[in-house]
A and B are shown apart, each in its own frame.
Chain A
Amino acid sequence: MADKIPRQKMPQQDPAKRIHNFNEVPLGYDEKTAVLEATRCLQCKRPTCVEGCPVNINIPGFIKAVKEGNPLEAFAVIKQTNSLPAVCGRVCPQEDQCEKLCVLAKKGDPVAIGNLERYVADYEREKQHYTFTKGETVKGKRVAIIGSGPAGLTAAGDLARMGYSVTVFEALHKAGGVLVYGIPEFRLPKDIVQYEVDALKAMGVTIELSRVIGTAETVNDLLSSGFDAVFVATGAGLPLFLDIPGENLQGVYSANEYLTRSNLMKAYRFPEYDTPIVKGEKVAVVGGGNVAMDSARTALRLGSKEVYIIYRRSKKEMPARIEEVERAEEEGVIFKLLTNPVRFIGDEKGRVKAVECIQMELGEPDASGRRSPIPVKGSEFIIDIDVAIIAIGNGPNPLIPKTTPGMDTTKRGNIIADPETMKTSKRGVFAGGDIVTGAATVIQAMGAGRKAAKAIDEYLSTGVW
């Protein structure tokens, strides 16, 4: 019977309308749809879906509660292992994780686990039934967490629950990491992130905003000023550039800058908000990941008429979530695949006015298994643009590694940490999330935060490093 019900689609804002606003695109399930979707789950004895989830949510368990009309119970089940369900339900690459391993995926469409998770978390938030109890700081030990992205927030929640006194240091004036400065409002409304941050505060976690560690105080200073352990969760916040001519012209942005101006600083509401952003008529976004899709879709919403994605491989190799690529297409983003920029061309005032590109073809698979692109000689062509956004990835911000002697890093500058305990080479210092793995996913960063919390507890309880 179950397989007769099709996977329930989530209603979305119409593309023609949504490109004129920053409101969320998918609108959420109503109760009836959620229950219907929940009945599709076979309640497997050996649920493979759980293995696909980096924090091993009891998926059949929470779906059963949804089916029985008990979203708050479902919420409690999810919360046992996932501290940010409203976020994960929205931005997890489910097609590569939980849903990929759902048994139903073998013959047809998997259960919409992410959509259901979102439904449950939204229900709880909107009804506010769940009360967060302030953790008792019973352990008498203090932990410092650097960075308030998903890794830092998760570790903070877990440690507070265990009874530690936790302080999160965040460089920016808002907590949330990429969730507030990177991922746009139309994919992840900022009040959801704020709700999660408020919940942590209610649990007794101290959040020190606008505190950059590594300029005045270092990790060593934290250790000697009364913190018993430090968790470094500073993310992959260093924008990479193409290093081609013209990259410093006016109107050429890193995706981080473009998205930070728009999301964190609300430049999309300029001049109501003071932060400006160059709103181009024609915009070229270089890259093929989520960051590139977010930038392109932001440009459309800021009023740009023609928005190009310039990507050097083919669509198959694009690292962005399929769903996001589809939405970008629906919204009218133009894909220039197998194309690579070679230089930006400026006008006499130093503003970007065009980008010269070259056609690429795919050669033999490289070390990563992907076929590497090779330029086609003589195939150069020019696209007129007035804004360019470089979204080719982020490296680790060197501020902490540079100022923490004794903490080893890779050649690229990522902190080396044990994959199970998140221990670094420096006693008392743990690290996890994008600063260790390089740019990855929200849920992986959360998984690292969780493991770190467990290992920190062990270390502080036993004193054994």
Chain B
Amino acid sequence: MRPLTPRRVLGICLLLLAVLFAAVVLSLRMGAYPMAVRDIVTTLVNGALGRRERIPSEFWLVVFGLRLPRIALGILVGAALSTSGAGFQALLRNPLADPYVLGVSSGAALGAILSLIVAPLAPGLIQVAAFVGAAATITGVYFLGRRGGHLDSGTLLLAGIISASFLSAVIMFLMTTLSGRDLRGMAFWLMGDLSSTPAVDLRWLYLLLLVGAGSIYTTASDLNLILSGEQEARHLGVNVGRVKIVVYVAASLLTGLAVSLSGAIGYVGLLTPHVMRMLFGTDYRLLIPTSAIGGAIIIVLADLLARTVVAPTELPVGAMTAIAGAPVFIYLMRRSMR
């Protein structure tokens, strides 16, 4: 393994950003509405120059109203999920750890359902409620997972799994009291889907992504040491307790953010860090940025498939990631057993 130089980190990130750019271009090009590359470029250029009257209104709607916001949302969600996945995996020193294993998605879904029961027509409330649900679950799991005053990986994982199944049962119970219309929306929501535009300005959400991912990144060197053993890390002067809390809170923020925007999109948070580890090594200083970009690439491509495979009908993107993710997961598992 070559030593990690800043130059190498920059190079790899630029490479991945180029791949992401290609995925975005492809995603802009494809869809139920047929548009030539030339038309897309003209629309983008005129849009950037504010010359809207020069573009046919359908081009405008498709590019700026539908495809770009959806791509931007996909990048945000993919980056948030993968970064928090990488964070949770280091924190729990468990390769199976992922935002959803800790019950966060169930908590978010429960919050959403409660908001549907209390105030079904309040705009944007469902997202806020999902975020609150995710945060509350994470807090609960955190206190359940403490043993002897500090976070214990095994206990935390168990607490997460138990909470997830408990919350899922509560959701099933509540869903039987909802009317049919709400149920339909809910089922789709639980699968994970990018077709709804967030009520909050995306710029604020990207800012939250930066804060969350940035906080995890500041602990990257410490995470490397913790991964080789908590005792050793302590002896080397790492404040293990503080690092754990920072990563836990930041990763939870990112998960809550993603779930409240798109529902529970599985496998991305679990698999992206694994793939990035295989490609670029286990150093967290590289793993965190590559996971963020890699997750964005995967979601953009998965959503492209979700929009086009059975067009004009759309699949939930969560179905796409699960179909592609489960075989990849089995492959990785068998490979690592050898």
User: Do they bind each other?
Assistant: no
Residues of B whose CB lies within 8 Å of any CB of A are none
